[in-house]
Structure 1
Amino acid sequence: MTLTPEPYAPRRIAPLGVWREAGHSIKAYGIHRDAELAGPILTDAVVASVRAAVRDVLSVHRGDPRGHGLGYCIAHVGDEAVWLLVDWWISGGIVCQRMLSAPLAQPDMFTPVTAPALACVWELAVIAHERDAWVRHMLTEQPDAGAYLQAVLPAGRY
């Protein structure tokens, strides 16, 4: 039996600022399944739990000699769970990732995802932007971390 995918519907995506966590500067993004949601894309409680989870993931990689101390994270309130992708750059053009999830009813209970997964189509919009920003600002003769951190995907429906 094959599942038929649902038609694509844009979701709301918004930058949440640059977070300084565990020796890294991380561009944070939120995604919400309800594109018409009024108000903040994530509640304060979800933002606090996301930041704690990002800090925990990155603390393991603090001081990695291959690291740049730069990256991004995506917190996505989806249909099945709250997904968290923590991504950081190493060795020039390599992005590393840890994926976590929390139940929708307990968005502060993040656990690592062990299933083979990379990202969904909405998260890939952020990842594509971050790839292009990395190439434009860091893979140059004069890398500019400040310009990379300022290059954020604008809030909108993607």
Structure 2
Amino acid sequence: MHPFHPRPIQPLGLTSVGEWRLKRYTIVRHTAPDSESHGEWPDFEPGRRLAHAALPSPVHAAGRVGVGFVIEHRGNGADYIVLGWWDRENELPVRVFVRDHSPGAAWRAARGSESFCVWDLQVVAFERDAYVGTVLSERASEGAVEDYLARRLTVAP
């Protein structure tokens, strides 16, 4: 086991997929080269396409407001994309996509025991609190979804 050390988490704003609005985050392992620091990662584009294709249709349905988040994580043994969207009023369906760190490895859906990790959970916990504090709040207003989208997590290196 390796001791836990915080990893930098950066919000990259919103991305639209059709009418879906997703908050984007990046997480980088401490040993990543500077060329892999936060920012646009073109090599993640095939994984993003897989994730975006997993979003349900229609965007707006009973209990579904068309928002969620996507985490792009440069990990130690693999890269991950974690997609979560709010559905059925208070549920968070999650899909995970993985690319191994081996020559020619392609993005694919997670399989077996592959899942998201403790660093991704930090974003998930923040997003849960942001959603509960806005969209599900007793004082939720007409702008609750926009308030949710405006809340972003940053963890400095």
**TM-score calculated relative to the size of structure 2:** 0.83
Look up the match of 2:76.
Answer: 79
Aligned residues: 151
**CA distances 1:81-117 after superposition (whole Å, capped 9, x unpaired):** 1111110001211000111101235698210112234
Q: Distance in 1 between matches of 2:3 and 2:96?
A: 25
Look up the match of 2:2.
Answer: 6
Q: Distance in 2 between matches of 1:41 and 1:107?
A: 23
> Of 81, 93, 96, which residue of structure 2 is paired with 1:96?
93
**1:21 Cα offset (Å):** 0.7
**CA distances 1:55-77 after superposition (whole Å, capped 9, x unpaired):** 2121xx02062422110011111
Identical-pair percentage: 25
Is the CA contact (8 Å cut-off) linking 1:15 and 1:155 kept in structure 2?
A: no
**1:11 Cα offset (Å):** 1.1
Which one-letter code corresponds to 1:142 in the other structure?
A
Is the CA contact (8 Å cut-off) linking 2:48 and 2:81 kept in structure 1?
A: no
Deviates more, 1:15-24 or 1:76-85: 15-24
Structure 1: unaligned runs, 5 residues or longer: none
Which one-letter code corresponds to 1:33 in the other structure?
R
Q: Distance in 1 between matches of 2:19 and 2:123?
A: 22
Look up the match of 2:67.
Answer: 70
Measured on the aligned residues, the alpha-carbon RMSD in Å equals 2.3
Determine whether 1:125 maps to 2:122: yes
Look up the match of 2:150.
Answer: 150
Greater strand percent: which structure?
1
Is the CA contact (8 Å cut-off) linking 1:28 and 1:73 kept in structure 2?
A: yes
**CA distances 1:22-48 after superposition (whole Å, capped 9, x unpaired):** 331000111111278646415531343
Is the CA contact (8 Å cut-off) linking 2:51 and 2:97 kept in structure 1?
A: no
